[in-house]
Structure 1
């Protein structure tokens, strides 16, 4: 019988425990799983050893699919078993790798082949296998529906194994875990509250690897889940490659592997770069295009749910080599599930960045059951990002008159503002970042200044949508003959 609370599981070591315990156990979320794995690991000496790992998995579809993903066909196979019947139930789990046939004899020593089976027997065997597979799929579906009550299965889970197509977001689930073992870390290129980002190599290509702290397990699960949403891929959304959990008896790593962009974040890029008007417009348009794609729902058999980011800021936007941008970091994202008319919010204790929080978030009046409210909060944050970009544009006075790079509200709050600091400035005083007079003398800066003012309006319903901002910039491009992309 399933418990109505989280259960205690054996874990492989202190660093493998997602809740930070150091007593060799971890506690799952409600309806989570305990797991145990056995995997062949190749040592530095070239020997293959068996390695057992145990720990906790989440109750959502990503945890459920991991329980079904034993990797037997690979050169070094891995078998996983899960349970959720009682505390420490995974101590009894002893996964065993299947026995493999002996290596084939050299041609000169191989025995003569036996007569092959009759065609009728082959057909009968194929039909039996198909019947067994159909029964297994039916039982699996029934089990999942019992867990979810009357709700239908979540759309992303239904397509989790289909992500090899261009309409998805990355590689197939099993291939992702193979990729993680082939990654060669090169150097650390950034740190944040979630963990650390590394430049790495995979098959000769440069990739970025985000390594999460064990305390940020919820962010890793959520970001992986969002990236694997069908039709998520877009040129202005960071390209996802793979995700995996690697671990031994003494450590655990939660990895997210994505495209690498050498220019870094928009925050870092604007520190030194001075933009001309065409570059500013192209960059602004790309950010808005990425956000419009996230906010858009696409209906159909393999439709895409609408997604709100909830942490839009210049540090979560990467600059590509062609000057366009890509939105990253989906650890706080929420989705709108149209079939159930509800907002899918992951259980995550992390909050957004206080400096970029919308007034309704700071005032704690945002309606969490209204998905449009999350989208409008994103638009407020987008207005602040546009302000950062416009300060670094050399129009209306030349490069010598460009304002130095600054964060929004840098002149009225501390470097690391508290919730109360931002509430006093944004909600009580209703202040917004100042717009320099020189911006009004150049069409591009004046147009963006008008857009950002409508994006950061105090009243959420008055704010522009991402699609409206995108169309406005596209019209400005057409009227002024400025190339955006």
Structure 2
């Protein structure tokens, strides 16, 4: 009891000493101007509650603004609470140029400060500051409130320690919220296989019929049950419904019990590789492919908590034009998650994890020509999911190049090239690991980009396949760049 009394006295005493500063710890949530294009609504609407043109921030004390420069005048693209916690001391929204030079960004820390953007050069030197003033501010605003908070937490911990021990004895171990039992069982007798439309390393894809609907049926031999189970686990994650993900209808055993079946919505245009081989596209059509592909990957990489459910981030690990499907509306959907890794961060599973029982060499997973330099070198630490996500973005860069090389509007003064896979021109149709190690990893070479392409188009691709994984964009950033590119580029 003496410890509790001492802590309580410390809390009360320090609270009296630093009452003005302590009040700042419980300040009202930040209010920001809110105006977001429909394309960016998904990203920013979860940053806080919206009331008309005002957003009340849930996770940050900073407002953000993105402005497109049209005739050198800023036009609003995004005004909202900042989705990232980037500490700034600016009371006004002062512009900073992004690498896409027609887009500027500002972040500020006052209510409604992002209503307008201020474009002025940064001062060359910071204004002189009195060292004694800095010392006083540091002590009053950081040390004392921090001590109060620490003492308060310790007081609560001492008081409830014995209750936590009792709870540990009575409460069963909770499973991670993203672990779910199969929720889409099917009866193999309801599935009719009609025509084989594709063959992969582990399964054959058939056009078929399920309960009166035309579907795609993925058939796994009994020996590849582990791949079937891995893919089904991804599809059955909570909140896994998204236009950029192939729609999963169910899974189960075949009628004779000798094979495993996975039923998916049929993408009538087939794989992206087949689509690009047979069809050229306009700029609008190519952007639709690129944007839907990037949105699907950004969703896959996202960690979502909604309605008490949790979808962890997932690394695809086999992103290629044969594993991306094209629907009748010209939109891409991601499929083939047999090599994917669920990046869990749940109780009992600290950090991000590799698939259960997985011992494979990283270079044995995925399509060789789409592998990033670090994967080719075998230098990837599979205990860290970040490297797997970065490798996906490298593959995304190759896919964007693949799509735009078939865009007729990007070759107005010349013939549109026939479809080629990445490095097919340089290394041929059958590449080996040794060839790619020399060309991609040691020589840092990438597929050739036509010089007449817009600078922003070239930069977007090269920022995806940068040799340094940490320098690559995120999939969500690619989505934003593509939106800005669509808005600003005229062909």
TM over 0.5: yes
Q: Distance in 1 between matches of 2:413 and 2:328?
A: 22
| 1:315 shift after superposition | 0.5
Q: Residue 386 of structure 1: SS of its match in structure 2? A: helix
Whether the 8 Å contact between 1:308 and 1:333 is mirrored in structure 2 is yes
Q: Residue 254 of structure 1: SS of its match in structure 2? A: strand
| 1:151 shift after superposition | 6.8
Residue of structure 1 aligned with 2:263, choices 238, 241, 257: 257
Q: Distance in 1 between matches of 2:291 and 2:332?
A: 9
Q: Distance in 2 between matches of 1:323 and 1:199?
A: 19
Q: Distance in 2 between matches of 1:151 and 1:363?
A: 40
Residue of structure 1 aligned with 2:175, choices 124, 129, 153: 153
Whether the 8 Å contact between 1:334 and 1:344 is mirrored in structure 2 is yes
Q: 1:336 and 2:343 equivalent?
A: yes
Q: How does 1:263-342 map to 2 (within 5 A)?
A: 263-300=269-306, 301-339=308-346, 340-342=349-351
Report the counterpart of residue 213 of structure 1 in structure 2.
221
Measured at CA, do residues 201 and 468 of structure 1 come closer, stay the same or move farther in structure 2, by a change above 3 Å? same
Listed one character per residue, the Cα deviations across residues 263-312 of structure 1 (whole Å, up to 9, x for unaligned) are: 00000000021111111111100000000000010125201101110011
Report the counterpart of residue 233 of structure 1 in structure 2.
241
Structure 2: tracts of 5 or more residues without a match: 1-167
Q: Distance in 1 between matches of 2:328 and 2:295?
A: 17
Whether the 8 Å contact between 1:388 and 1:406 is mirrored in structure 2 is yes
Q: How does 1:413-432 map to 2 (within 5 A)?
A: 413-432=427-446
| 1:181 shift after superposition | 2.1
RMSD over equivalenced CA pairs, Å: 2.1
| 1:414 shift after superposition | 3.9
Q: Residue 197 of structure 1: SS of its match in structure 2? A: strand
Q: Distance in 2 between matches of 1:336 and 1:453?
A: 26
Q: Residue 305 of structure 2: SS of its match in structure 1? A: coil
| 1:332 shift after superposition | 0.9
Q: 1:452 and 2:474 equivalent?
A: no
Listed one character per residue, the Cα deviations across residues 118-141 of structure 1 (whole Å, up to 9, x for unaligned) are: xxxxxxxxxxxxxxxxxxxxxxxx
Count of residues paired in the alignment: 313
Residue of structure 1 aligned with 2:485, choices 467, 476, 484: 476
Q: Residue 394 of structure 2: SS of its match in structure 1? A: helix
Q: Distance in 1 between matches of 2:490 and 2:177?
A: 42
| 1:421 shift after superposition | 1.9
Q: Residue 258 of structure 1: SS of its match in structure 2? A: strand
Structure 1: tracts of 5 or more residues without a match: 1-144, 162-171, 441-445
Measured at CA, do residues 398 and 220 of structure 1 come closer, stay the same or move farther in structure 2, by a change above 3 Å? same
Whether the 8 Å contact between 1:212 and 1:254 is mirrored in structure 2 is yes
Q: Distance in 2 between matches of 1:255 and 1:201?
A: 13
Q: Distance in 2 between matches of 1:240 and 1:293?
A: 16
| 1:371 shift after superposition | 1.2
Q: Distance in 2 between matches of 1:263 and 1:400?
A: 27
Listed one character per residue, the Cα deviations across residues 130-157 of structure 1 (whole Å, up to 9, x for unaligned) are: xxxxxxxxxxxxxxx9xxxx97424333
Q: How does 1:344-383 map to 2 (within 5 A)?
A: 344-346=353-355, 347-348=357-358, 349=360, 351-383=365-397
Report the counterpart of residue 14 of structure 1 in structure 2.
none
Measured at CA, do residues 206 and 481 of structure 1 come closer, stay the same or move farther in structure 2, by a change above 3 Å? farther
Listed one character per residue, the Cα deviations across residues 192-251 of structure 1 (whole Å, up to 9, x for unaligned) are: 111211000112211000011333222111000010000111001000011112364xx6
Whether the 8 Å contact between 1:394 and 1:400 is mirrored in structure 2 is no
Report the counterpart of residue 424 of structure 2 in structure 1.
410
Q: Distance in 2 between matches of 1:190 and 1:390?
A: 25
| 1:258 shift after superposition | 0.3
| 1:417 shift after superposition | 1.9
Whether the 8 Å contact between 2:319 and 2:392 is mirrored in structure 1 is yes
Q: Distance in 1 between matches of 2:291 and 2:274?
A: 19
Measured at CA, do residues 447 and 216 of structure 1 come closer, stay the same or move farther in structure 2, by a change above 3 Å? farther
Q: Distance in 2 between matches of 1:422 and 1:220?
A: 29
Q: Distance in 1 between matches of 2:419 and 2:475?
A: 25
| 1:400 shift after superposition | 5.6
Report the counterpart of residue 195 of structure 2 in structure 1.
187
Residue of structure 1 aligned with 2:211, choices 203, 215, 221: 203
TM-score (norm 2): 0.61
Q: Distance in 2 between matches of 1:364 and 1:256?
A: 32
Listed one character per residue, the Cα deviations across residues 301-356 of structure 1 (whole Å, up to 9, x for unaligned) are: 20110111001110010011111100000001111212233223223545111111
Q: Distance in 2 between matches of 1:473 and 1:463?
A: 15
| 1:261 shift after superposition | 1.0
Q: Residue 322 of structure 2: SS of its match in structure 1? A: helix
